Amino acid sequence: MRLHLLMMTLALALGLCGSVQAAPRPPLEGAPVTVQVESGALSGRTWDGVQAFRGVPYAAAPVAELRWRPPQPAPAWSGVREAIRFGSDCLQHPLPTIVDPGSGQATSEDCLYLNVWAPASGPRRPVMVWIHGGGFTIGSGAMVASDGAALARQGVVVVTLNYRLGRFGFFAHPALTREHPDEAVGTYALMDQIAALAWVKRNIAAFGGDPARVTLFGESAGGGSVIALMGSPAARGLFHQAIVESGGGRDALPGLERATADYPAGYAAGRAFAIKAGLTDPDAAALRALTADKVSGDLGFTNNRNRSDYSGMVVDGRIVTGDPAAIFARGEEAPVPLIIGFNSAELGGAKVFTAPMTRQAAARFGPQETALRKLYDPDGGEEGLATHFLSDVIFAEPARMLARAHARAGRPTFLYQFSYVAEAQRAKAPGAGHASEIPYVFDTIALTDPKATSQDRAAAAATSALWASFALRGRPAGKGPAWPSYTAASDTLMDITPEGALPLTGRTRARLDFLEAAQAASRD
């Protein structure tokens, strides 16, 4: 009964709904401001108390001989480089009828750029580095929902970034290993994220940031990235706090030589792709000679599991050393304060799509299926199971499992559920859907939702204040009672509301206890 094998990618697709078309965001306006970073001088803009810099290269373009190589230093430039437009998004195939591509930027292999928002004055500030979601196949650091200006006005420096996606981000082939046997292969997306964090450490002081106070945060695939980086020796010391939003945590990852029920082994997937592209026994140069369109191929967003020619994230032994749950269980993750949580109905608004998966997953409980159904629907109905079951399996129970492990190791841990639903959506939404918390975390709801009410804006201000206070002082604080640290004994789960974080009551704990016991039984 391997519940972690459910299709997270469908969750991601259904959760990132937004406007069907996104226009490129206009260049920055305001008074010019110049900073000096390691590669040269940058000219951004100051507006309403915030300095903003867009499209800052943190690594060399990963093209030609640098495709499928660890990120290399960004080349220096002469003069002053304008930093008022976002860089290109990484190559991807968004589904505009389901998923809002978010930024409207052009896509390119030359995409390793980051963006910085910083208070225009004041003492050295803590830093928040955001990793976007999108199933590792879509997304952007330039999305309107993750604009960093409002967070910066609360006294933090905000960085968002792009990283290689799809087969550009996750690809392994023996030819690449033969070419550079001392380099990691297969996890280029995570290597990019680590390179961006290293750039922040070296350069963020130029923007008024404190490189010794970096909070890494991300949602969905970005949250999964944060979990992976917490367990990565290569990322150790590059961040000092972490926030995981709907990041899962129970996935069994394939290795370079080891397949899982979800994905083939990394080398096997690379060989299968090369053969499909007409290369039976290529060297690294032949692989890199493939066009970008050929590499992207038909790699979609919701149909990537069980493909023979795509491995997803792999255990490469250098960047990713094992499955996240096992690393946390051994207490080997980064010893940093952690906020981790999930939304109240991650997939609840997509029951027409998730119904077949719900039935299949419930059937895996065998004799316990009747007890499971009664737990979700005591009256014998189907609504509770359809609304919450997959959300609990994929997001909620793994979040609590990781929180328990992290707290058991003596690290400050804070577990949450985000349940706020915009007023205009309450008639049809059973709870907060996947990714719906992002404009509240960044306090951008007024930018992303033209129907946002005063209560919606208040909820965004309250949520954003919790995240900012964690970055500023190491503990989430805002309106409402104090947020206690999580322990397994207290099992304190806080519900994020317009009134601040409040202790959660109801059947959530019972559901998670049942699923946790089922996970334990499946390992026996």
Active site members: 220, 346, 434
Distance between CA atoms of 53 and 40, rounded to whole angstroms? 14
Which helix or strand (DSSP H or E) is residue 32 part of?
strand 31-37
Q: If DSSP states are collapsed to H, E and C, what string results for 89-110?
A: EECCCCCCCCCCCCCCCCEECC
Helix (H, G, I), strand (E, B) or coil at 182: coil
- Contact 56/475 with Cβ under 8 angstroms? no
Residue 450: CB partners within 8 Å, gap ≥ 6?
A: none
Task: Please choose, from the candidates 228, 268, 230, 272, the residue with its C-alpha nearest in 3D space to the C-alpha of residue 251.
Answer: 228
Do 435 and 15 form a contact (C-beta atoms < 8 A)? yes
**Phi first, then psi: what are they for 158, rounded to 5°?**
-115, 135
- Distance, in Å, from the CA atom of 121 to the CA atom of 201, rounded to the nearest integer, reads 20
Contact 272, 266 (CB under 8 A): no
Dist CA 116 CA 128 (whole Å):
10
- Rounded Cα distance between 147 and 176, Å, is 37
Angle at 411 (CA atoms; ends 409, 415), nearest 5 degrees: 105
DSSP character string of 36-72 = EETTEEEEEEEETTEEEEEEEE-S----GGGTTS---
CB 393 within 8 A of CB 6: yes
Neighbours of 374 (CB within 10 A): 13
Residue with tokens 């690290």: 411
Instruction: Please tell me whether residue 149 adopts helix, strand or coil conformation.
Output: helix
Distance CA 351, CA 334 (A): 37
Under DSSP, the state recorded for 394 is I
Q: What share of the chain is helix, strand, coil (3-state, %, to 5)?
A: 35, 15, 45
454 to 123, 458, 459: CA distances (angstroms): 32, 6, 9
